[in-house]
C-alpha cells in the first residue's frame, strides 16, 4: 500500500482535509500508521527492541500507541487519533475508521490472542473501548464512549456500557457515518415496554375491581360530584411515566393542552425534542389512557414543534 493511497483515504474519510501538503504534515493518525509499518516490519524480523523503540517514538510524536505486533489492514484511517491505543494481538481489517480515544485492549495475562479483531469497514466512535479477543464484524459501528466486551455481529450498531446492539442499517449500502443522535437506546426501550405492560395490568386490575363492586345508582350522586372529562384526562395522564427520568408527563410539563369536543379529544404534547425516541410510546400511552374514559371515541395526540418549558403553573394545576 502506497503513500498516495493513504492520502486518498484521508480525503475520502475526512471532509476537513484541504490539501495534500496539509495531509502530509498535519495528520498524526497518518504518521502513526506509517511508523507502525516500519515497527511491524522490524517485529516480524524478530528485532523486538528496535520495533518497540520505533513504536515508542511514534507514541511520543503522535499521541497514538500501536504495538508493533498489531496487524493493520489497508486504508485504515485514524481520525485525530489522540489517545488511541492498539494492543499487541489486535487485528484491524481494511477500510476501518477509528476516532480519537479508541482502545483495543486485552483482558488476559497469558501470551495468546487477547486483543480484538476488527473486520473490514467497521467504524469505532470516539472513546470506544473494545476489550478481549472478540470480533467486531464487517461493517459494524461502535458508538462513542461504548465499552464492548462481546463480539458484535456484522453490520450491527452497538452503544452503551456495556455495549448492546441498538440497531442495524436500513439498507445494504455500507456507510461510514454514525449518527449518534439517531441511535436508539436499548435500555430505554426495555423500560418503556415494562411500563407499558405494567399500565395494561393496572387497567385490567381496575376493571376487575369495578366489575366486582356493586355500582351505586347515578340518581344518588349529585352531578356536581362527577369530575369533568378534562380533569379525568389530566388525572389519568399522571400514570404515563417518562422512562428516561421516571416522572409523569404532567409533572414534566409535557402536556400543554387538552381539548374535549364531545366524543373527541385532542392532547397537545411538547416534548424535549422533535426527534425524541419515545414519541410513539407517549402517543400510544396517552391514547389508551384517554380512551378508557366512557364516552370518548376518538383521541388525537399532537406533537407541537416548539421549545419545551418547565411550566410550574401547569404542573401544579391538577395535582
- pLDDT computed for residue 171 by the predictor: 41
Which three cell numbers, joined as nine digits, stand for 71? 496487524
- pLDDT computed for residue 201 by the predictor: 81
Which three cell numbers, joined as nine digits, stand for 50? 528496535
- pLDDT computed for residue 122 by the predictor: 93
- pLDDT computed for residue 192 by the predictor: 74
- pLDDT computed for residue 178 by the predictor: 61
Between CA 130 and CA 146 the distance in angstroms is: 8
Between CA 49 and CA 32 the distance in angstroms is: 18
Sign of CA dihedral 204, 208, 209, 210: positive
Between CA 72 and CA 29 the distance in angstroms is: 13
Instruction: List the beta bridge partners of residue 164.
Output: 159
Instruction: List the beta bridge partners of residue 105.
Output: 131
Which three cell numbers, joined as nine digits, stand for 317? 394545576
Torsion angles phi and psi, residue 46, rounded to 5: 65, 20
Between CA 116 and CA 138 the distance in angstroms is: 13
Burial class for 268, CB neighbours closer than 10 Å (0-12, 13-18, 19+) = middle
Choose among 148, 151, 147, 146: nearest CA to 136.
151
Q: Residues for the chain: how many in total?
A: 319
Between CA 59 and CA 41 the distance in angstroms is: 17
Does residue 54 carry a pLDDT above 90?
Answer: yes
Domains and CATH numbers, the chain: 3-167 (2.160.10.10), 227-313 (3.30.300.130)
pLDDT confidence band for 314 (50 / 70 / 90): very low
Give 270-308 pLDDT, tens digit per residue: 876 666 667 888 888 888 888 888 888 898 988 887 765
pLDDT confidence band for 60 (50 / 70 / 90): very high
Does residue 209 carry a pLDDT above 50?
Answer: yes
Give 84-94 pLDDT, tens digit per residue: 999 999 999 99
The SS3 assignment for 164 reads: strand
The SS3 assignment for 155 reads: coil
Beta-sheet strands, E only, within 213-309: 241-242, 247-248, 255-261, 264-269, 298-303
Neighbours of 49 (CB within 10 A): 8
Alpha helix ranges (H) inside the chain: 3-13, 20-26, 28-44, 48-62, 186-211, 229-237, 279-291, 312-317
Instruction: List the beta bridge partners of residue 165.
Output: 158
Q: What percent of the chain is helix, strand and coil (3-state, nearest 5)? A: 35, 20, 45
Between CA 240 and CA 52 the distance in angstroms is: 59
Instruction: Give the range among 112-116, 118-122, 174-178, 273-277 with minimum mean pLDDT.
Output: 174-178
Choose among 102, 98, 97, 138: nearest CA to 117.
138
**Residues near 62 by beta carbon (within 8 Å), at least 6 away in sequence:** 28, 29, 31, 32, 35, 81
Torsion angles phi and psi, residue 50, rounded to 5: -60, -35
pTM: 0.64
Choose among 90, 195, 95, 207: nearest CA to 148.
90
Does residue 227 carry a pLDDT above 90?
Answer: no
**Residues near 134 by beta carbon (within 8 Å), at least 6 away in sequence:** 116, 117, 148, 149, 150, 151, 152
Give 242-259 pLDDT, tens digit per residue: 776 677 888 777 888 888
Mean pLDDT of the chain: 81
Amino acid at each position: 500500500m502506497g503513500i498516495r493511497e493513504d492520502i486518498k483515504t484521508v480525503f475520502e474519510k475526512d471532509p476537513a482535509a484541504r490539501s495534500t501538503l496539509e495531509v502530509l504534515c498535519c495528520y498524526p493518525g497518518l504518521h502513526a500508521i506509517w511508523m507502525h509499518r516500519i515497527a511491524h516490519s522490524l517485529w516480524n524480523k524478530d528485532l523486538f527492541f528496535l520495533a518497540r523503540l520505533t513504536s515508542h517514538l511514534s507514541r511520543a510524536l503522535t499521541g497514538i500507541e500501536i504495538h508493533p505486533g498489531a496487524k493493520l489492514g489497508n486504508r485504515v484511517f485514524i481520525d485525530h487519533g489522540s489517545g488511541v491505543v492498539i494492543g499487541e494481538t489486535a487485528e484491524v481489517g481494511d477500510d476501518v475508521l477509528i476516532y480519537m480515544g479508541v482502545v483495543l485492549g486485552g483482558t488476559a495475562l497469558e501470551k495468546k490472542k487477547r486483543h480484538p479483531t476488527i473486520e473490514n469497514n467497521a467504524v469505532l466512535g470516539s472513546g470506544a473501548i473494545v476489550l478481549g479477543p472478540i470480533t467486531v464484524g464487517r461493517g459494524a459501528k461502535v458508538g462513542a464512549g461504548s465499552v464492548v466486551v462481546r463480539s458484535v455481529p456484522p453490520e450491527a450498531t452497538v452503544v452503551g456500557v456495556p455495549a448492546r446492539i441498538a440497531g442495524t442499517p436500513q439498507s445494504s449500502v455500507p456507510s461510514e457515518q454514525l449518527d449518534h443522535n439517531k441511535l436508539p437506546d436499548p435500555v430505554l426501550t426495555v423500560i418503556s415496554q415494562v411500563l407499558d405492560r405494567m399500565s395494561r395490568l393496572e387497567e385490567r386490575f381496575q376493571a376487575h375491581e369495578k366489575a366486582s363492586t356493586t355500582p351505586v345508582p347515578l340518581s344518588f350522586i349529585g352531578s356536581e360530584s362527577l369530575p369533568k372529562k378534562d380533569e379525568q384526562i389530566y388525572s389519568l395522564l399522571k400514570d404515563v411515566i417518562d422512562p428516561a427520568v421516571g416522572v409523569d408527563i404532567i409533572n414534566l410539563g409535557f402536556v400543554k393542552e387538552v381539548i374535549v369536543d364531545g366524543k373527541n379529544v385532542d392532547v397537545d404534547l411538547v416534548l424535549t425534542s422533535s426527534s425524541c425516541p419515545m414519541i410513539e410510546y407517549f402517543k400510544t400511552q396517552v391514547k389508551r389512557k384517554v380512551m378508557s374514559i366512557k364516552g370518548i371515541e376518538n383521541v388525537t395526540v399532537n406533537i407541537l414543534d416548539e421549545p419545551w418549558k418547565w411550566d410550574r403553573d401547569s404542573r401544579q394545576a391538577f395535582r
